[in-house]
Structure 1
């Protein structure tokens, strides 16, 4: 790549550079910024990785940047004030939203690793026509103002973790043609301005909307998810040293990492004929917390092998990652929902080894302490 780009930059008057599906491999050298006249750069469907060189921001005449289907991570692109099209789909960008100019007409960030909320600054992109943020991990509220941007015609935010209530009287651009809000945690009503017509497609499946259609989760499902997001955003405003703890709490409140039903099952299997006094469930949780709190704080999706706590006088038990529990319940599908009690929602699941388990989603509040969570 380095020698290749070194040869290219000799073409100082080059305005359009398209290198699609050529098997290019490696990081993109910063010397690409020597193409000072460049207006269109398309290097999609290669094997480029690393950061987009910061030097590229000095190419102020760049209007189109297409780097989809690579393995890039992203820097600050706000200096590209004339950028109108940015396509970074199917890379490894994230977790934070990139800093961008406000002249964008087409923005595609789908299939990446963005996690933190959608910035309010995006609502100032008045020329934006096409917005695709699908298949990421965005949390927090979705700004309804994005539906009413004066030029918007296409919006896809499907398969994220966005929350909030939608209202029937929400305003939107009359020219909007496609909206996909599927697979988030929205509640309320579908906006009447997005009703299906021959000129418009609107998708809402796998939310908690009261729209009388199939493929909607029960309302408590989204309420619990919104609570989890609220705790994350609240702690995000605290000191940066608390961020790992916030992530740990957020990941944990989605599911019971310590599955109490499994603990009881393992106790019975390991001591089928003994009548010795067994420690209560509360004792097991309290003692386990002293061992795992630091680990859980550093990684909310921590997963161990079966852990032997013989030194504490406890039977062996196993913790599970959120991904494992999502697979066991088919992403907490409504068909796996067993009911709801004072402690939270209960789902039935099946582990990879065929074991049937009950998984409880704990109800948490902002006022709950770390000890309560553990």
Structure 2
């Protein structure tokens, strides 16, 4: 035993020690730096980008992030600043960009520029809380690496392009708080298997929700405050993955009585629709964080148990003949 310990000790003495890397991050690529200066100039040299100076490595500039190995710009995230103008087409000249964000810039106007399609490495595109106008461009369907697309809180009009369903890596789409019209494209039933969250609230969408969407395993769906119709029962079932459903203030009409929910379900908002039947007993087995079924055509006794009595009467009132705690007792 002692001999083995001695042998190991000798080996450790002669083994080479690991060397610590002394390599420094590569400085910002000069072509990318030139593009950033053009972007700054196009936006009117705003104070928000005052750190963008030639005497400092552009990898250290505000709103910018580089790949430390290559020095190429991989993130441009301009947000919450007093910036006017339009999205500069020069953003398309940052070929290694993975994240592009223009957010909470209320004086940013104009349309989404086609130059964005040059960003073939883009995984996140966030153009939200601005005054962008025009349509949701079909050319966004060319960004095949895109995983997250957020165009919420703008003035976008027109219909939702079916081409968005061709994005093979998309996991979340947010088009809420715009002025979009027309129907939800049937092609959305072909969204990729990893697709999790669909946000279309506060628009002017019409028509039935495509039944094909019921084949997707969403985590969150928000269709609230549109003019949508039809049956939503295809989103629910014990084997589904949905945990949050926001369907308020539409014209949905279906029987709620036999609906089943996955064990992980937490948030249900169905207020101001034309939903009928009774509250299903399956709701009592859930850990609900939020429930609102008010202003519908529901009847029958509110089931006892679970979290159903933890919500006040506003979660249930203005139905046809719903009764029981927290509403008045059934007669």
For 1:59, which of 164, 167, 171 is the aligned residue?
167
For 1:161, which of 239, 255, 274 is the aligned residue?
274
Give the superposition deviation at 1:117. Answer: 2.3
Give the superposition deviation at 1:210. Answer: 2.4
Aligned pairs for 1:118-157 within 5 A: 118-120=232-234, 122-123=236-237, 126-142=240-256, 144-146=258-260, 148-157=261-270
Using the alignment, how far apart are the partners of 1:71 and 1:215 within structure 2?
A: 40
Q: Which secondary structure state, in structure 2, belongs to the residue aligned with residue 94 of structure 1?
A: strand
Using the alignment, how far apart are the partners of 1:133 and 1:52 within structure 2?
A: 18
Using the alignment, how far apart are the partners of 1:33 and 1:11 within structure 2?
A: 12
Q: Figure out how many residues of one structure are paired with residues of the other and give that number.
A: 215
Query: Mind listing any 5+ residue stretches in structure 2 that lack a counterpart?
Result: 1-86, 88-109
For 2:191, which of 55, 80, 96 is the aligned residue?
80
Any idea what the Cα deviations from partners look like across 1:72-105, whole Å, max 9, x if unmatched? Answer: 2321211113210111001112220134242210
Give the superposition deviation at 1:60. Answer: 1.6
Match of 2:297 in 1: 185
Tell which structure's C-alpha radius of gyration is larger: 2
Any idea what the Cα deviations from partners look like across 1:194-230, whole Å, max 9, x if unmatched? Answer: 44566x67821111112266589x99xxxxxxxxxxx
Match of 2:202 in 1: 90
Correspondence 1:210 to 2:323? yes
Give the superposition deviation at 1:71. Answer: 1.8
TM-score (norm 1): 0.52
TM-score (norm 2): 0.58
Query: Mind listing any 5+ residue stretches in structure 1 that lack a counterpart?
Result: 220-374
Aligned pairs for 1:232-311 within 5 A: none
Using the alignment, how far apart are the partners of 1:194 and 1:134 within structure 2?
A: 23
Match of 1:27 in 2: 135
Where is the helix percentage greater, Structure 1 or Structure 2?
1
Q: Which secondary structure state, in structure 2, belongs to the residue aligned with residue 192 of structure 1?
A: coil
Give the superposition deviation at 1:185. Answer: 0.8
Match of 1:361 in 2: none
Aligned pairs for 1:341-356 within 5 A: none
Match of 2:150 in 1: 42
Using the alignment, how far apart are the partners of 2:153 and 2:207 within structure 1?
A: 22
Give the superposition deviation at 1:59. Answer: 0.3
